[in-house]
Amino acid sequence: MNNLRPVGIIGTGKYVPEKILTNADLEKMVETNDEWIVSRTGIRERHIAAPDQATSDLCYEAAVKALASAGMTADQLDLIIIATVTPDTFFPSTACILQDKLGAKQAAAFDLSAACSGFVYGLATARNFISTGMYNNALVIGADCLSRITDYTDRNTCVLFGDGAGAVILGEVPEGRGFQSFDLGAEGAGGNLLKLEAGGSRMPSSTQTVEDKKHYIYMNGREVFKFAVRVMNTATEDVLKKAGKTKEDIDLFVPHQANIRIIQSAMERLNLSPDKCVVNVDKYANTSAASIPLALVEAAEQGRMKEGDCVLMVGFGGGLTWGASVLIW
């Protein structure tokens, strides 16, 4: 990215709904137990949106904090990108709904769909708008209300997901800082492994689709697991190479929080000590597009990054997709 403006993160904010659903709660809903969930996934609890909360409401709370941390007001925003697979409505986009709620009158706004990789896709998109000079700043949010598309009678999926939003403001940063590289990818052939079939133009919603539970997430967990372990490794290697870095340079590893075993397998490959890896899957479960920004923002709030640290984010998700980035904090 020579001759282009360096772009980095200049503000952060996060939000999770108040209500907590524990493994003990789930034991009363489906045939499962805390031991199975913790040993197979590392998840202990997840946050669930209130009935009157939609994705844009979670985004709003995170965005207000991110704006405050950047020392900005909403009317200064040039662009809003929301990565989500659970928008408030098909249209208007959740980004447009948020633009109105924030009063970000000058901002262009759109949603982006890349499931759990969506936040990294959003960062790359916004970085390019700013580095080329088209915009000076952008609000990028990863947010999902997966509870709204989860079948709470299906133990294969309902233990895995939670709701939340993580927001960052991107802007110009000093030379040598900010995003060093991105690696985005897709394997559309694996789309059937993780999907929500009904409600689109292929299969419009009907009483039949509801009866058949096609408005809920379907996932082939074992196959997604294999894909995840594979691409976490290849994407990490590729994004480090593009940045001219090695695994020894990583100060903080921020992986998608889907399953502790997937994270541990990546840590072993990278030979990373636990203090260099952000793990909060135990508290939030898999929050899809919100997962990486929730982990990143939480690490920032805990003071785990200092200026000049090399941060590596990597995620995978429906599509199938993956996304990774190397960032100098």
Give least dist CB 132 to ligand ACO, A.
Answer: 30
Catalytic: which of 23, 137, 259, 286?
286
Does the protein bind ligand ACO through residue 225 (CB under 6 A)?
yes
Q: Smaller CB distance to ligand ACO: residue 169 or 313?
A: 313
Among 228, 278, 292, 327, binds ligand ACO (CB under 6 A): 228
Catalytic: which of 256, 259, 277, 310?
256
Angle between helices 94-102 and 55-70 (to 10 degrees): 50
CA angle 146/148/19 to nearest 5° reads 80
Among 150, 259, 287, 325, binds ligand ACO (CB under 6 A): 259
From residue 36 to residue 65, what is the string marking binding to ligand ACO with x (rule CB under 6 A)?
xx--xx------------------------
Q: Which helix (H) or strand (E) holds 81?
A: strand 79-83
State the Cα–Cα distance between residues 166 and 142, nearest whole angstrom. 5
Catalytic: which of 23, 59, 96, 116?
116
47 carries an active-site annotation: no
State the Cα–Cα distance between residues 257 and 161, nearest whole angstrom. 10
CA 64 and chain centroid, separation:
18
Contact 242, 324 (CB under 8 A): no
Give the alpha-carbon dihedral of 88, 93, 94, 96, to 10 degrees. Answer: -140
Among 201, 222, 268, 303, binds ligand ACO (CB under 6 A): 222
Q: Smaller CB distance to ligand ACO: residue 36 or 152?
A: 36
The candidate with the shortest Cα–Cα distance to 13, out of 166, 241, 210, 240, is 166
Q: Which helix (H) or strand (E) holds 45?
A: strand 45-48
How big is the site for ligand ACO, counted in residues (CB under 6 A)? 23
Does the protein bind ligand ACO through residue 286 (CB under 6 A)?
yes
Does the protein bind ligand ACO through residue 181 (CB under 6 A)?
no
State the Cα–Cα distance between residues 64 and 50, nearest whole angstrom. 19
Which active-site residues does the annotation give?
Answer: 116, 256, 286
Which residues of this protein are in contact with ligand ACO, per CB under 6 A?
A: 32, 36-37, 40-41, 115-116, 155-156, 159, 194, 219, 221-222, 224-225, 228, 258-259, 286, 288, 317-318
